[in-house]
């Protein structure tokens, strides 16, 4: 058999195999569709410190969190609802990747401020530094706190959000100090899982926040407990 006939025979055989496979898939596609997808894995983060999951999934409203109580309220428009904004007792507001504080142009009556300590050891931060805290300003018509606005990196290849894991010191509305860092941005995925695949917007904006409050209005934080225990952000989440 010459080379031309060999090539023709290989092509013919490949075509036959393709059609057999295609017919099998068509005949059984209903069976494939009835097989349920495996349940989503719920991420489990390990920390000896309190963990709060903030539902910031709405792009139209803000989730305002009081970390002393662990409670959150939703406010639709911080520009139009300024009277309600000033009456509420809250520390930080979240909307997707945006973070605002109860201070500055957002609420001139608020006293909350933020300081970025960078990617330092969280448990090693035992005292709030004496430097000035940053309050909210306006940039290009939007409310912003420049100390915490760049808390994440954006990966252009997979379009995912990944926390820089910086530690922030916050002076809360109650006058206490708090140290915090954002551990994760996704609702049912770990950020590292989104490095190689695209995690959709529907899977995003459930911010997992690790935080520790000072015992009173001094700037000293309690030492981390020596016993590590697993925290489940989904079951520990706070809702309105």
pLDDT tens track for 157-187: 777 899 999 999 999 999 999 999 999 999 9
22 shares its domain with 78: no
Residue length of the chain: 240
190 shares its domain with 226: yes
Phi, psi of 195, deg, nearest 5? -75, -30
On whether residue 240 sits in a domain, the answer given is no
Number of domains in the chain: 2
Q: What is the pLDDT of residue 22?
A: 52
Tell me the DSSP string of 101-118. Answer: ESSTTT-TT---EEEEEE
123 shares its domain with 19: no
92 shares its domain with 193: yes
What percent of the chain lies above the pLDDT cut of 70?
77
Model confidence over 183-194: pLDDT tens digits?
Answer: 999 998 888 878
206 shares its domain with 94: yes
- Calculate ∠ Cα 118-124-125, nearest 5°: 60
User: How many angstroms separate the CA atoms of 38 and 134, rounded?
Assistant: 45
On whether residue 142 sits in a domain, the answer given is yes
On whether residue 210 sits in a domain, the answer given is yes
Range of the domain at 147: 45-231
Tokens 């007792």, residue? 89
This prediction's pTM: 0.74
For residue 63, what are the CA distances in angstroms to 2, 38, 44, 158, 182?
A: 74, 31, 23, 26, 15
Q: What is the pLDDT of residue 29?
A: 39
On whether residue 193 sits in a domain, the answer given is yes
Q: What is the pLDDT of residue 209?
A: 97
């Amino acid at each position: 058999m010459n080379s031309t006939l060999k090539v023709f025979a290989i092509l013919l055989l490949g075509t036959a195999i393709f059609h057999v496979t295609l017919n099998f898939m068509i005949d059984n596609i209903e069976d494939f569709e009835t097989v349920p997808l495996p349940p989503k894995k719920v991420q489990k983060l390990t920390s000896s410190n309190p963990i709060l999951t903030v539902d910031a999934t709405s792009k139209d409203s803000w989730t305002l969190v009081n970390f002393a109580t662990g409670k959150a309220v939703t406010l639709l428009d911080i520009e139009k609802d300024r009277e309600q904004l000033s009456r509420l007792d809250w520390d930080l507001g979240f909307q997707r990747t945006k973070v605002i504080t109860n201070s500055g142009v957002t609420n001139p009556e608020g006293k909350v401020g933020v300081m970025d300590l960078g990617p330092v050891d969280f448990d090693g931060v035992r005292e709030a530094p004496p430097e000035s805290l940053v309050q909210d300003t306006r940039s290009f018509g939007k409310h912003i706190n420049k100390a915490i606005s760049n808390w994440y990196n954006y990966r252009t290849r997979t379009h995912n959000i990944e926390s820089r894991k910086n530690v922030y010191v916050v002076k809360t509305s109650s006058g206490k100090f708090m140290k915090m860092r954002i551990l994760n941005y996704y609702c049912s995925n770990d950020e590292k899982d989104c490095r190689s695949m695209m995690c959709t917007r529907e899977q995003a904006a459930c911010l997992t926040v690790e935080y520790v409050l000072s015992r009173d209005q001094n700037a000293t934080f309690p030492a981390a407990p020596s016993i590590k225990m697993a925290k489940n952000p989904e079951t520990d989440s706070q809702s309105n």
